[in-house]
Structure 1
């Protein structure tokens, strides 16, 4: 009997049974455990984004639809003032694209781990990419290992992040003006992301790249469309590439 011939109740039961089997996998549980400490910071950012969407004048239904379909907090916060100000659509799209360019770098890093999967599944997984679960993934896997371990760990951390984010941002949208800006809940999210970033600074090259990126972001802060983020990312990538090239040249000289 095919899935399409099952009753709605049987389909739901089948989906829940599949989800239960996946949740029992060791690497899925490990990804869940690693992502949970970041839940407070993610929830804080979600509330900030939700409150911002509510105060922008966007209707509740449209705001929730945007939260579910976009799933990119920084892009949402960057685009909201432009939408509220009636900016041309191309400006909104360009701003969101510039802010989200880091996901291209994330995808390039994920490729050796997920290249064996069918394209449709890779597209589905790409929807759940985020800064937090990317940092956790990089920390957990230095190189490809068992085939299913990558997907399971990614699912465990990414789905945890996704659920926390959606619950918090929808809460912020519904609560709206009831959450005052004086609470400073965005600061908790900033500190959580900063702490997670610091855990990735394991070598002199990454530390130097982080300092260069921070300086570049501040120096280019006046650029429109949040292009200072693109400048910071490009500076960090260029710094790491130069350091690696210098090391290779030095090894070749001493060999």
Structure 2
């Protein structure tokens, strides 16, 4: 996680500043950072909050942005499904995109093992700290940060860097391309609904690709 923590920190700082600049009070911004703990849905919801969007639009946007965690948790269930309920709840709070990717690279065989939980906690501890410390700093320093600094663009660059690390095969690249095109095509929609359209298009294409382009079978190891 050390290699990606710089991008996570930059993203957290931008989100902390953006929450205050969008009109949230410091207590609400702190609560959002600590309780929601989902950078993409936080950034997606802030323009809607600032624009006075209906609550259902806010909830729908956050739900669509976070749909990927349904897939993540379905995979993590194969590793942690045997744990007690409240322990699984603690695990789920700290779950994050890059932890998911790095965890699966370390444990490609989807079956429980004693070393998996310590490995998970080590990764998410760094990820949580790399996000929350800069985010809280951004909340308290937001009024001292001039808008001319262009932190929004810095946040976009950080998010693009993190997203790029998740594009691991042809299917994810195609889904990302479709999402980009859909977001641009639907840009004229009000209340940033083009984000919801892009996510729905990417999910639909991803499901179709999984059905019609299954991954190649693993090669069988030669028996000695």
- TM-score tier by shorter-chain length is 0.7 to 0.9
Gaps of 5+ in 1: 1-34, 249-255
Q: Which residue of 165, 168, 173 corresponds with 1:211?
A: 173
Q: Look up the match of 1:189.
A: 158
After TM superposition, the structure 1 = structure 2 runs for residues 141-156 of structure 1, keeping only pairs within 5 Å, are 141-144=107-110, 147-156=113-122
Q: 1:146 to 1:115 in 2, by over 3 A?
A: closer
Q: CA deviation at 1:45?
A: 0.4
Q: Within 2, Cα distance between the matches of 1:56 and 1:168?
A: 18
Q: Look up the match of 1:4.
A: none
Q: Within 2, Cα distance between the matches of 1:211 and 1:195?
A: 9
8 Å CA contact retained: 1:209, 1:237: no
Q: 1:241 to 1:140 in 2, by over 3 A?
A: farther
Gaps of 5+ in 2: 218-224
Q: CA deviation at 1:194?
A: 4.1
Q: Look up the match of 2:129.
A: 163
8 Å CA contact retained: 1:41, 1:193: yes
Q: Within 2, Cα distance between the matches of 1:225 and 1:159?
A: 33
Q: Look up the match of 1:233.
A: 203
How well do the aligned residues superpose, as a CA RMSD in angstroms? 2.1
Residue deviations 1:218-250, cap 9 Å, x none? 2321172622123213322431332228x67xx
Q: Which residue of 4, 11, 30 corresponds with 1:64?
A: 30
Which structure shows the bigger proportion of residues in helix conformation? 1
Aligned length: 206
| TM-score, structure 2 as length reference | 0.84
Q: Look up the match of 2:220.
A: none
Q: Look up the match of 2:53.
A: 87
Q: Within 2, Cα distance between the matches of 1:151 and 1:234?
A: 32
Q: CA deviation at 1:182?
A: 2.5
Q: Which residue of 75, 87, 94 corresponds with 1:109?
A: 75
SS at match of 1:220: helix
Q: Which residue of 194, 203, 212 corresponds with 1:242?
A: 212
Residue deviations 1:132-190, cap 9 Å, x none? 11111121111145622221111111111001100011111111043344354325513
SS at match of 1:147: coil
| TM-score, structure 1 as length reference | 0.74
8 Å CA contact retained: 1:94, 1:225: no
Q: 1:146 to 1:114 in 2, by over 3 A?
A: closer
Indicate the structure (1 or 2) with the bigger Cα radius of gyration.
Answer: 1
Q: Look up the match of 2:18.
A: 52
Moved more, 144-153 or 71-80: 144-153
SS at match of 1:116: coil
Q: Within 1, Cα distance between the matches of 2:81 and 2:112?
A: 13
